[in-house]
């Protein structure tokens, strides 16, 4: 492709942590430990849920799928981050960059929707307990999980194509740790306001709508819990919901900061910090959040692991 003053980019260079080369070995060790911990923590949670008969309920079915989604989500970015730190070469082919963004967005939206499904499950369990076994049957649970995975695919693939239809006529260096829309918009030439607007609209639809659904669900859940007569019943209900609510706040909070800010307010350092938070720290914390506050998971864990 040849146009006046436009050079077709065949690869990008992720600058990552190239500004602190002396910390290369330390960073590689930290990210390797984090990645292995994510794999072990979420993998162990999946095994516990699959093998323990007491955990064969819709809530744990969704949690097992959520843990698998976390493994897939973090595997899109962390292995390449480790490779870039080790080799000190951040080059990524144009097509690989597009695949990474597309995968990241599809899995990210699937996580948003699955968190909304988990909120609906808690709503039915607490607000309509007598109808819970009928409503949340296995067939519906499977359909909700499949819908969470595939609903956002067409739109996110479209957004990815939209981003990579831009002209990149300047530097091909991305001051980021993985391919993402904000750093790509910075190196694109011409007016990118329309593209930026479309990304914001996409974010509002697929991030804010699930978040509003979760918020409404929890308003109804908390209202119902406060009406419960027994203190022990309130405590148990709050306990089962608090873990999910913490995960929701962490994921949606950091994701909204990254994708809903205008391009002019983005800074490379803040983007890296927030991106690391929702792609590595949150998947690392989620097994702890869901297990340490859950007596059933702790009891199942004690049966598997030695004291």
Q: What are the sequence ranges of the domains in the chain?
A: 11-304
User: What pTM does this model have?
Assistant: 0.86
Of 227 and 139, which is predicted with more confidence?
A: 139
Phi, psi dihedral angles at 168 (to 5 degrees):
-110, 95
Q: What is the pLDDT of residue 114?
A: 93
Whole-number Cα distances in Å, 293 to 57, 239, 296 = 17, 7, 9
Sign of the dihedral defined by the CA atoms of residues 227, 229, 233, 239, in that order: positive
Q: What is the pLDDT of residue 79?
A: 93
Q: Which of 43, 133, 38, 112 is nearest to 79 (CA)?
A: 38
Q: Is the pLDDT of residue 236 over 70?
A: no
- What percent of the chain lies above the pLDDT cut of 70? 87
Average pLDDT of span 26-48: 91
Q: Is the pLDDT of residue 5 over 70?
A: no
Beta strands in the chain (DSSP E): 11-14, 91-93, 173-174
Q: What is the pLDDT of residue 3?
A: 45
Helix, strand or coil, per DSSP, at residue 92: strand
11-304: CATH number: 1.20.1070.10
Q: Give the pLDDT confidence of 126-141 residue by residue, as tens digits.
A: 888 889 999 999 999 9
Q: Which of 212, 216, 290, 296 is nearest to 224 (CA)?
A: 216
Q: Give the pLDDT confidence of 166-178 residue by residue, as tens digits.
A: 787 767 888 888 8
Q: What is the pLDDT of residue 144?
A: 94
Q: Give the pLDDT confidence of 204-215 residue by residue, as tens digits.
A: 888 888 989 999
Does residue 183 contact residue 267 with C-beta atoms inside 8 Å? Answer: no
pLDDT band at 4 (very low <50, low <70, confident <90, very high): very low
Q: What is the pLDDT of residue 230?
A: 64
3-7, 12-16, 129-133, 233-237: range with lowest mean pLDDT: 3-7
Q: Give the pLDDT confidence of 51-107 residue by residue, as tens digits.
A: 888 888 898 899 999 999 999 999 999 999 999 888 888 888 988 999 999 999 999
Average pLDDT value for the chain: 83
Q: What is the pLDDT of residue 176?
A: 87
Rounded distance between C-alpha atoms, residue 133 and residue 34, angstroms: 38
Q: Is the pLDDT of residue 266 over 80?
A: no
């Amino acid at each position: 492709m040849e146009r006046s003053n436009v050079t077709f980019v065949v690869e990008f260079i992720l600058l990552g942590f190239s500004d602190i080369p002396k910390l290369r070995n330390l960073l590689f060790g930290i990210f390797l430990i984090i990645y292995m911990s994510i794999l072990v923590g979420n993998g162990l949670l999946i095994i516990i849920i699959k093998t323990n008969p007491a955990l064969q309920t819709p809530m744990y079915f969704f949690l097992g799928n959520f843990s698998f989604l976390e493994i897939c989500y973090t595997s899109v970015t962390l292995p390449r981050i480790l490779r870039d730190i080790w080799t000190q070469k951040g080059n990524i082919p144009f097509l690989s960059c597009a695949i990474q963004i597309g995968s990241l967005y599809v899995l990210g939206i699937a996580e948003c929707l699955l968190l909304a499904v988990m909120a609906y499950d808690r709503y039915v369990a607490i607000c309509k307990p007598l109808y819970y076994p009928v409503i949340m049957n296995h067939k519906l649970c499977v359909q909700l999980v499949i819908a969470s995975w595939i609903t956002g695919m067409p739109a996110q693939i479209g957004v990815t194509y939209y981003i990579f239809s831009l002209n990149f006529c300047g530097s091909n260096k991305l001051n980021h740790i993985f391919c993402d829309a904000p750093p790509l918009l910075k190196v694109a030439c011409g007016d990118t306001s329309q593209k930026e607007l479309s990304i914001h609209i996409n974010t509002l639809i697929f991030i804010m709508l699930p978040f509003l659904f979760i918020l409404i669900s929890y308003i109804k859940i908390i209202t119902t819990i406060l009406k419960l007569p027994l203190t022990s019943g309130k405590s148990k209900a709050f306990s089962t919901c608090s873990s999910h609510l913490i995960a929701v706040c962490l994921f949606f909070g950091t994701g909204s900061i990254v994708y809903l800010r205008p391009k002019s307010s983005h800074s490379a350092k803040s983007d890296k910090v927030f991106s690391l938070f929702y792609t590595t720290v949150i998947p690392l914390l989620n097994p702890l959040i869901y297990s340490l506050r859950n007596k059933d998971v702790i009891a199942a864990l004690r049966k598997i692991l030695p004291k």
